[in-house]
Structure 1
Amino acid sequence: MLEIGLLVYPGAQTAAVHGLTDLFAIANRMAGEQHSEQLPRLRVSHWSAPAPALPPERTYDSLPDAASRLGAIVIPPCMEDMPGGAEAVELAAWIKRSHQQGAIVGSICLGAFLLAITGLLDGRQATTHWTHGEELASQFPKLKVNVDKPIIDDGDIITTGGLMAWAEIGLRLVDRLLGPSIATRTARYLMVEHSDSARECGSNFAPILAHGDAAVLKVQHWLQGNGAVDVSLAAMADCAGLEARTFLRRFRAATGLKPTEYCQHVKVGKAREMLEFTNGTIDHIAWTVGYQDTGAFRTVFKKITNLSPSEYRGKFGAKA
């Protein structure tokens, strides 16, 4: 059982909270129709801070299960002002703790402001509603705000810009937790659009985070934050506080990938976003994500997506 926590606070958009609750219920039904013991089941819980300085508490939409774990948190948009003061600090601390324990964190629209308080977005790209991009950048200068992107999927953190983007982030999480076929069937049932690039070229990189190895998880968060650029095995082992051979063994056991393979997926994921949403040259994109050898970049990109960078842009790039 995987638990998805939806944050509920005064002024939160109820359409997002209830819409996501329904979306995950439909995804559960689609997964159940597969009669597969390999697919987990999703449980949705609503979280709130009942009073300042108190830890968030949850209300379940179904009976709690001791086997459930918090696999993701979604911060809905606000219809009024975002939480402030002690309440915001307490909620941000809980979000950060949950992320450190392996939960994927997603924000919708102005939910990025609360996510930014956690510090998890420092040094990363993030998006929010286009009318508040300058305000977000001003309040949190360590962020790289890009409101031209409707969604920025950074593996362990996902931010979206639209007020009604709850369906897209919900489908991304279904894709991540239950697989692309369940996400596609859920989207078809709801008659909403789902990302063609994720469906046809495999999902954007979905790292395994809920493995319970804190040392490896620390390295994963570090790699997602810096884009896996200019990192070495020695630096990763040092970040984990482990001897290199021990780190290699534990990293592969936890993530299913060698550190070099993991870094390739992180870099290609960022390159895919740039190919979809920018007009930068392929050489520039290769350099930006950490490849000085464009030929090596093209080889790795095609290995992961089954398309060359130019083919990928031609198929999924934003049309002028």
Structure 2
Amino acid sequence: MKHIAIVAPCGQSNMSSVACIVGAFEILSDANLFWKKKGGRDSYKIEIVGISDRTEFSNGLVTIKPHADINTLQKTNLVVIPSLIRDYEQALEGNKLIVDWITRQYKQGAEIASMCTGAFMLAAAGLLNGKNCSTHWSAENTFRTLFPGVHLKTHSTITYEAGIYTNGGAYSFLNLLIYLIEKYYDRQTAIYCSKLFQIEIDRQYQSGFSIFSGQKLHDDEEIRRAQEYIESKISEKISIDEISSRLSIGRRNFDRRFIKATGNSPLEYAQRVKVEAAKKAFENSRKTIHEVMYEVGYSDLKAFREVFRKITGMSPLAYRSRYNKEIDVPRK
């Protein structure tokens, strides 16, 4: 029988971690049961694993009793890592034994799946160097600062590369579970679990949920000034050449430094700033697509739609319909 190990972190977690652990165990167990009923072979033994016989969460509000100790579990096929607490360095320090065990399992051929900020554990182990990775959009700045060698893709709900799965923030771990079920069982089992637990299948992007606040956790003061200038000119068409000239930095060097500091090119950063302003306008006003487009410095509707969709994964109209219910209420 094959094996799936769901990690219970050693105290460095929160209630979101509990949701990931319990949700993974329940949904994978039901997938296993469905698979067996329809005659599937090679089912999985699914266990919660840790380094103690009891793991407490939220000051003892919830206690989980792992099925197995990692010190006695020599081999597994898949390791599932839940989200971690917001104090990532503390979380990593408190889970060194688990990180070492995960690394050994990966070297022995196991696949690894991290949920939300669980990606910090993988990155700390060096397993994500040079690879694509997703995590919660709110952790983007911190992650880029701590792990510059990882290719962060926060627009993606799920990434997969070299036997490592990562996923976006919060409860999008449910989408990762459906994805894993299709990989480890089959499409029919994934559809069944999707319907049973009412989880959207084949969701690819978390961009529509993100809130862009600008990546300023760096030490390049001139690039920070460029960011502030871009953010002050939302309603204007911005010339990147003009900005680099204002700072007396050659364009190629300016682009290189900007990408190193923020993870985005200057053009991408300007687009994200403008789209974030447009999103807020769609959420909080009755303005038309054209009105918002002009407010954020675009005059070409096709170009605006393309940039908006690239960043959010949705059209401007679809975004406004989803997040602003007042537009359906008749004016008095």
Q: Which SS does the other structure have where 2:191 is aligned?
A: helix
Cα distance in structure 2, aligned partners of 1:122 and 1:177: 25
Q: Per-residue deviation at 1:139?
A: 0.6
For normalisation by structure 2, the TM-score amounts to 0.52
Instruction: Find the residue that maps to 1:59 and give its secondary structure.
Output: coil
* Distance in 1 of aligned mates of 2:92 and 2:109: 26
Is 1:171 aligned to residue 178 of structure 2?
yes
User: Which whole-Å CA distance do the structure 2 matches of 1:18 and 1:84 have between them?
Assistant: 19
Q: SS of the counterpart of 2:189?
A: helix
Match of 2:36 among 7, 23, 32: 32
Evaluate the alpha carbon distance shift between residue 85 and residue 126 of structure 1 in structure 2; reply closer, same or farther with a 3 A threshold: closer
| Alignment correspondent of 1:43 | 45
* Contact 1:27–1:182 under 8 Å retained in 2: yes
Matched residue of 1:122: which SS?
Answer: coil
Report the residue type matching 1:3 in the other structure.
H
Corresponding residue to 1:157 among 164, 170, 191: 164
- Residues 231-261 of structure 1: per-residue CA shift (max 9 Å, x gap): xxxxxxxxxxxxxxxxxxxxxxxxxxxxxxx
| Superposition map of 1:138-287 within 5 A | 138-195=145-202
Q: Does the 8 Å CA contact 1:126/1:159 hold for their aligned counterparts?
A: yes
Query: How far does residue 191 in structure 1 lie from its aligned partner after superposition?
Result: 1.7
Q: Answer yes or no: is 1:70 the counterpart of 2:76.
A: yes
Number of residue-to-residue matches in the alignment: 189
Aligned partner of residue 100 in structure 2, secondary structure: helix
Q: Are positions 1:132 and 2:139 aligned together?
A: yes
Query: 1:163–1:179: structure 2 CA closer, same or farther, 3 Å change rule?
Result: same
Contact 1:49-1:87 at 8 Å conserved across structures: no
Q: Which runs of 5+ in 2 are unaligned?
A: 54-64, 205-267, 269-311, 316-332
User: 1:14 — aligned with what?
Assistant: 18
Matched, 1:116 2:116: no
Give the counterpart letter for 2:81 in structure 1.
I
> Unaligned regions of 5+ residues in structure 1, if any?
52-57, 198-277, 279-316
1:135 aligned partner, one-letter code? T
Question: Residue type matched to 1:92 in 2?
Answer: V
Identity among equivalent pairs (%): 21
Q: 1:2 touches 1:69 (CA, 8 Å); kept in 2?
A: no
User: Secondary structure of 2:77's partner?
Assistant: strand
* Structure 2 residue matching 1:70: 3-state secondary structure: coil
Give the drift of 1:94: 1.0
Q: Aligned partner of 1:123: which letter?
A: G
Cα 1:104–1:193 change in 2 (3 A) is same
Deviation at 1:153, TM superposition (A): 2.0
Contact 1:92 1:118 in 2 (8 A): yes
Contact 2:92 2:124 in 1 (8 A): no
- Cα displacement string for residues 3-41 of structure 1 (whole angstroms, at most 9, x for unaligned residues): 1111112124111111111101110111012123xx221
Cα deviation digits, residues 97-150 of structure 1 (max 9, x gap)? 111111111111111111101111000111111111111111111111121222
Q: What corresponds to 2:27 in structure 1? A: 23
CA contact (8 A) 2:75 2:105 kept: no
Give a deviation string over 1:29-66, Cα, whole Å, max 9, x none: 11012123xx2212221222349xxxxxx9328xxxx9
Following superposition, the deviation at residue 88 of structure 1 comes to: 3.1
User: What TM-score results when the alignment is normalised by the length of structure 1?
Assistant: 0.54
SS at match of 2:95: helix
CA RMSD between the two structures: 2.8
Whole-angstrom distance in 2 between the partners of 1:3 and 1:42: 5
- Paired residue for 1:107, among 89, 103, 114? 114
CA contact (8 A) 2:175 2:203 kept: no
Rate the CA distance shift 1:80–1:145 in 2: closer, same or farther, 3 A: closer
Distance 1:135 1:86, change over 3 A: closer
Aligned to 1:226: none
**Hey, what's the Cα distance between the residues in 2 that align with 1:145 and 1:80?**
18
